[in-house]
Amino acid sequence: MKCRFCGKKAYIKLHHPKMYLCREHFMEYFERKVKRTIEKYRLLGKGERILVAVSGGKDSAVVSYVLKKLGYDIECLHINLGIGEYSAKSEEYTKKQSEMINSKLHIVRIKELLGAGIGELKTSRPTCSYCGITKRYIFNKFAHDNSFDVIVTGHNLDDEASFIFSNIMNWNTQYLAKQGPLLPGEGKFVKKVKPLYEVTEREVVAYALAVGIDYMLEECPYSRGATTLSYKEILNQMEEKRPGTKMNFVKGYLRKRYLFEQEVEKRELKECEVCGMPSSGEICSFCRVWRLKKPVELEVKEVKR
């Protein structure tokens, strides 16, 4: 098949909207879609200090690459989770990716910071649960302590659709109330944005291959059997039968999100007695899980305050 615009051999067939594109026109399409998402939801402003959360995988690598290509000045942060060979490989990929786009890379190693890696901590919480708490806390505190204005993550349309689907199936209204492409900053919470919000996982993979991004293919060993993967598979089957299902589902959620916001009581946040970061209780989840007695130090000394 041939490209819709130039007649060259097609690189990809898009299902929604339905069309064939060559490599060059697909890259233009993808980058324009990300740019429009940023503008549509007002994700990034001029002069903001941008921190991209990178894992070594395709999504964070692609969002970093595209933001640099669009002219944004970014820095990257990788959290080495201390999961043996998997984390060692992930860190190496983030180094190669940041070198490719000439972006500054900060690395926080959990074992050095907290004395144990993910999977080694003795706790009643599931591994994925306290891993999520740990990553969210470190990304936010690093951004706050080093005066970044916004945190960028690589969540794509498939991620968002499966997350919404999962939480609707379990009626987790507290999560449904604050999902979306932009989570505004408040107090010590730094603004979080998702520029890949309207591009599919398949498009992200195709873009990474088109521009030559080398990325980590292995999944985290603790993610095997996760229910979110089952929800993704269900949505993929629905998308195959009716292209555009995921986009319509996510856009419909955004239109009705206010219904969940009304149901959730806004809790008054306190300052954690250990670290001083926002908390619903006397001690925040991060300090409680890791049994900390003093705050972790995440300020980079050469960053101008």
Is there a binding annotation on residue 193?
no
Is there a binding annotation on residue 272?
yes
Is there a binding annotation on residue 83?
no
The share of the chain scoring above pLDDT 90, in percent, equals 89
Report yes or no: 14 and 115 within 8 Å, Cβ to Cβ.
Answer: no
Is there a binding annotation on residue 90?
no
For the segment 181-197, what is each residue's pLDDT rounded down to a tens digit? 999 999 999 999 999 99
- Angle, nearest 10°, between helix axes 245-263 and 227-241? 130
Is there a binding annotation on residue 54?
yes
Which residues face 105 on adjacent strands?
Answer: 76
DSSP SS3 for 148: coil
Is there a binding annotation on residue 149?
no
User: Per 3-state DSSP, what percentage of the chain is helix, strand, and coil (rounded to 5)?
Assistant: 45, 15, 40
Is there a binding annotation on residue 220?
no
From first CA to last CA, the distance across the chain in angstroms is: 55
For the segment 195-237, what is each residue's pLDDT rounded down to a tens digit? 999 999 999 999 999 999 999 999 999 987 677 788 999 999 9
Parse the chain into domains and list their residue ranges.
38-218+225-262
Alpha carbon distances (Å) from 302 to 65, 115, 146? 25, 25, 10
Q: Tokens for 18?
A: 């339905």
Is there a binding annotation on residue 34?
no
The CATH number of the structural domain formed by 38-218+225-262 is 3.40.50.620
Dist CA 81 CA 89 (whole Å) = 11
- For the cut 90, the answer to whether the pLDDT of residue 262 exceeds it is no
Between 126 and 34, name the one with better pLDDT: 34
The share of the chain scoring above pLDDT 70, in percent, equals 98
Question: Cis link prior to 184 (omega < 30° from 0)?
Answer: no
Considering only CA atoms, give the Rg of the chain.
20
Q: Tokens for 183?
A: 């989570």
- Provide the mean pLDDT of the chain: 94
- In angstroms, how far is CA 139 from the centroid of its own chain? 11
Is there a binding annotation on residue 158?
no
Is there a binding annotation on residue 131?
no
* pTM for this prediction: 0.94
Looking at residue 87, what is its pLDDT? 97
For the segment 56-68, what is each residue's pLDDT rounded down to a tens digit? 999 999 999 999 9
Is there a binding annotation on residue 128?
no
